[in-house]
C-alpha cells in the first residue's frame, strides 16, 4: 500500500504562489524549503505545469541534480534515526551534566546558606548583646538624669541661699556703716565734751586761784587744849 503524501498538490501550489508573490526565485529547493519537506520531482512537475511558466526549465544552476537529491534524501532517511539517537544521547548527557551541576550548585548554596545562618546567629547574638548594653546605658543615663535633676535642684537652692546671704550681707554692711557713722559722731561729741570739760576745769582752776588770793589769813587759836 503506497504511503500517503504529506504535502498535497494544493500545498505545493500555494507555496509556489507565495514565493512568486514575494519575488523569490522559483525552483524546487526553495519550494521544498518553504514547505519544510516534499518530493522534489513532484514540486518540479507542478512548477512545469504552471500556466505562467516560461520556457522549459533547463535546471537552476543552484538546484541539486535529481540523482544527487535522491541520494541526499536517502542519506537523510538513513541517518535520521542515528541523528535522533545521537541527539537523545547528547540531551540525556547534557541533562545528567545539568543535574550534576545543579546538585553541586545546590550543595554549594546549602553550604553558603549554612554559613549565612551561622553568621546570622552570631550577628543576632551580637545585636542582642548590644541591645542589652544599650538598655544598661539607658538606665545609667536615666540614673544620671535623676542625679543631674537633684544637682540642679541643689544648685537652685544654693543660689537662693547665696542670694539671701548676699541680701543679709548688704543689710549687715548697712548696719555696720550706720554703726561706724554713729561711732564717728560719738567720738566727735566726746572730743567736744572733753574740750568743754577741759575748758571748765581751767575756769575752775582760775576761780580757785582767785579765791585763794582774796581770802584773809586765819587768826591763831589762843585756846589751849584741855588735858
pLDDT in tens, 47-71: 888 766 544 444 454 555 666 676 7
pLDDT at 204: 92
Q: Is the pLDDT of residue 40 over 70?
A: yes
CB-neighbour burial class of residue 152 (10 A; exposed 0-12, middle 13-18, buried 19+): exposed
pLDDT at 28: 87
Residue 124: half-sphere exposure toward Cβ, Cα within 13 Å: 6
> 40-72 in b/e burial notation, b at 16+ Cβ within 10 A?
bebbbebbeeeeeeeeeeeeeeebbeeeebeee
Residue 210: pLDDT band with limits 50, 70, 90: confident
Angstrom distance (rounded) from CA 77 to CA 185: 151
pLDDT at 57: 47
Q: 6-19, pLDDT tens digit by residue?
A: 788 888 888 888 88
Angstrom distance (rounded) from CA 136 to CA 129: 11
Angstrom distance (rounded) from CA 2 to CA 145: 106
Q: Which runs of E-coded beta strand occur in the chain?
A: none
Q: Is the pLDDT of residue 1 over 60?
A: no
* Max avg pLDDT among 45-59, 73-87, 159-173: 159-173
Q: Is the pLDDT of residue 91 over 70?
A: yes
Residue 133: pLDDT band with limits 50, 70, 90: very high
Q: Is the pLDDT of residue 4 over 70?
A: no
Give the mean pLDDT of the chain. Answer: 80
Angstrom distance (rounded) from CA 58 to CA 40: 15
> What mean pLDDT comes out for the span 120-139?
88
pLDDT at 58: 45
> What mean pLDDT comes out for the span 37-42?
84
Q: Is the pLDDT of residue 173 over 70?
A: yes
Contact yes or no for 63/29 (Cβ under 8 A)? yes
Amino acid at each position: 500500500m503506497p504511503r500517503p503524501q504529506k504535502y498535497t498538490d494544493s500545498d505545493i501550489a500555494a507555496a509556489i504562489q507565495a514565493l512568486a508573490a514575494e519575488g523569490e526565485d522559483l525552483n524546487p529547493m526553495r519550494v521544498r524549503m518553504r514547505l519544510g519537506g516534499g518530493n522534489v520531482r513532484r514540486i518540479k512537475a507542478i512548477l512545469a505545469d504552471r500556466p505562467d511558466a516560461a520556457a522549459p526549465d533547463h535546471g537552476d544552476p543552484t538546484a541539486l541534480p535529481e540523482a544527487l537529491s535522491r541520494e541526499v534524501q536517502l542519506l537523510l532517511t538513513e541517518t535520521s534515526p542515528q541523528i535522533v539517537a545521537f541527539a537523545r544521547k547528547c540531551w540525556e548527557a547534557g541533562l545528567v551534566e545539568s543535574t550534576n551541576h545543579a546538585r553541586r550548585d545546590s550543595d554549594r548554596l546549602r553550604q553558603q546558606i549554612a554559613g549565612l545562618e551561622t553568621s546570622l546567629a552570631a550577628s543576632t547574638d551580637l545585636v542582642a548583646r548590644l541591645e542589652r548594653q544599650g538598655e544598661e546605658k539607658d538606665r545609667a543615663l536615666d540614673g544620671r538624669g535623676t542625679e543631674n535633676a537633684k544637682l540642679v535642684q541643689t544648685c537652685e537652692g544654693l543660689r537662693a541661699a547665696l542670694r539671701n546671704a548676699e541680701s543679709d550681707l548688704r543689710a549687715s554692711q548697712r548696719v555696720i556703716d550706720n554703726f561706724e557713722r554713729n561711732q564717728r559722731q560719738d567720738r566727735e561729741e566726746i572730743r567736744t565734751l572733753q574740750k568743754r570739760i577741759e575748758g571748765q576745769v581751767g575756769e575752775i582752776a582760775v576761780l580757785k586761784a582767785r579765791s585763794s588770793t582774796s581770802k584773809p589769813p586765819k587768826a591763831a587759836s589762843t585756846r589751849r587744849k584741855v588735858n
